[in-house]
Structure 1
Amino acid sequence: MLIRNTLFTLCSVALVAVSPAIAQSLKVGDKAPAISVDTWAKGEPVTEFSSDNYYIVEFWATWCGPCIAGMPHVSELQEQYKDEGLVVIGVNIWDDPRKVKPFMQNGSGATRGKSGGDLMQYRVAVDKVIDKNDPKHGAMAIEWMKAAGRNSIPSAFVVDYDGRIAWMGHPMQMDGIVQNLASQYATRVGSKQVTDHIARNAELDEKAAPIIEKTNEAIKAKQWTRALAGANGILKIDEQYFGEWAAKKVAILAQKSPGSRDTLVYAKQLVTSTYKDNAPVLTDVAEALLTYEPKNENARAIVTIAISQAVLKASKSDARVLAASAMAKHVDGKAEEAIDMLTEAINVLEATPPSDGADVADIKAYETLKNSWRKRLDDYKRVDIDNSEK
């Protein structure tokens, strides 16, 4: 389910390494080292880890393009889980401390006109430098990064309610553990017992699997009435968890009855109500309408709403938003803009492949999406060449 729920926001280089691999003494399960910083560039200082919260400690530098590209996603996590115990701390390391304040105020060439403060909607601190002639020797760079054997940034550590390292790795791969800790928050603060999200999701997947298989068979055979019944059955199990099937239902309705008012009424309900805060579903609905109702003006109005909402919930640089926007440009005959946008979407996607331990289903979904976008890009270029020769 990772591909469906994760927003991809890294640029074409996923990590920046600064030294060879080093020995690891800090491991998952160990007590987290102290927060040792010189200054706080943004937000309320954190002096120690509280049992009422869990934390992301993310290491970055002003010169690190992949760090900058990943900042919107980290900000999204802080916003999503701010009321469920999450505290994000961005720690500047391996850098000239004097560059942090200008970066926070004005940004850099890599921030595309935004300041670092705009990109980082969470607490930001500057490492406590021990040797001013070598910023790599900052306290947290040594006690966290070096101790964990990590030699590249961006790197993130998730600290649980007990102050222990629950996870470490690339910031774009931490959504699962953050969601898991968020699910424990209500219990921790005593408000209510929450469902174990991982177990529940597995139960939902198992329950829906036979229906999904039969529905996909019906779609392949273009048996739209049967496919529609299947999509309804899947959504009845859990419409939020299986949100992608709401967008597929739009595609099914459009193919079952081209130009039907029912398709547009349902699609509008999705983007203005049911999934108005779900960027992946919003972009999927937009693509379904652009694919099967490209000339319908009412459908295009819904597409505009969907993409606008997706930008608000994700960002203009989100891969899925870029891909949907590219499709809209292509339908409008703006070939060059469509090609540029989809190329950028593919670059963003390729910069964040599934982790080594990802499920087979996640890897397959990632490859399918990437290959479909590459094929679409080839089609856009072919149309552009054909038009230029006329």
Structure 2
Amino acid sequence: MALQIESPAPSIKVENWLRGEPLTSFQPGKVYIVEFWATWCGPCVDGMPHLMQLQEKYRESGVEIVGVAASEDAPTADEARSKLDAWLTEKFSNLNYRIAFDSTGEMDKLWMEPSFSVAIPTMFVVDRDGHIAFIGHPMELDEVLPKVLNGSWRASDQAKSADTDRIAEGETIAREQALKKPINDRFWAAVEKQEWKTALSAIEEGIALLPDKLGFRRSHVNLLLHKMRDIQAGLPVMRQFVRDAINRNSENWMIAALDELFFPNFDYSHFPSAERLAMGKQLSEHILALNPPESDQCKLLPYPVAALYYHESGNKDRAIELIELALNSLGSPELIGDGDKQREISHLLQFLANFKGEKVCYGALCAAPNNGRFDRWYTVCG
């Protein structure tokens, strides 16, 4: 049975409470925010200060926030718990809400799976009578929580519409995942053994079932051009991928296409240079039209891949300019803390050092040229 608005809240079954007093049941009269998160999830970590502010703001109104870490990466549960505890001590020593740890999968079975929630962070708001009032992203709390507290949210048309849309989207994603899993399993097993024809067969089956899935389409290009080095079969597939990316006006598709065309760690000696540059020009111009460098809302991700094209096409100054714009969009280096932003800066500095051919720094972070090698930012199969 689906977990949705008006459903009784599931129970809390966790292995350990790492911060705050253990919570065994939801107390009548209080509002609980149960958030599923992980230390490796950038949006989760970025949102923690906001949750701390909400906890402080609404504590007197009976709000209790509970963070559930149910997706930590470690070889054993004990290592995951120890790693999480140390991480919390280092990053959020002043945390003001509960943190629960669960590696058994029990909380996912009780909360995430029946609500069709497939990504983190996901939050569940439990109303004063112990029923679910809202399921969604924590950034929606600013709008939803005051209405939950004054009792106007659950009965509203907005709440019911949002929950209907959420369930429909979740069911669609669940069906897609069920279709994709056996294909991805075969694909990755074949990749591990470098059985490229078997991997190609799996991906082509995936495209036949789900032709609009970016992961399958990109893997198709990657296999033919970079693993099998079959330019005769791969070039038409690459051309179609570029056309579809532009026709969709999709930033993600265009970034993926550019990355397959210009990622420095690939060998392009078998690829017609003029056509590769022509494709890169088209994609880069469309990406920058979507995210003008002069705009106030400079987005990080498109700039490095567009810069790769400009650098290879001989426009070194433009490539450097784009990386510097991306760096500046992150704010003053003195204000940047640990975590995802530092990793983003490190990636950008590596681009900049390789383009300039010299050591570069941004605040305390520095990078030196490394013969044009870069870490991959993207997965190959979705």
For the superposition of Structure 1 and Structure 2, which TM-score range results when normalised by the shorter chain? Answer: 0.3 to 0.5
**Larger RCO (alpha carbons 8 Å, 6+ apart):** 1
TM-score norm. by structure 1 comes to 0.42
TM-score norm. by structure 2 comes to 0.43
**Higher radius of gyration, 1 or 2:** 2
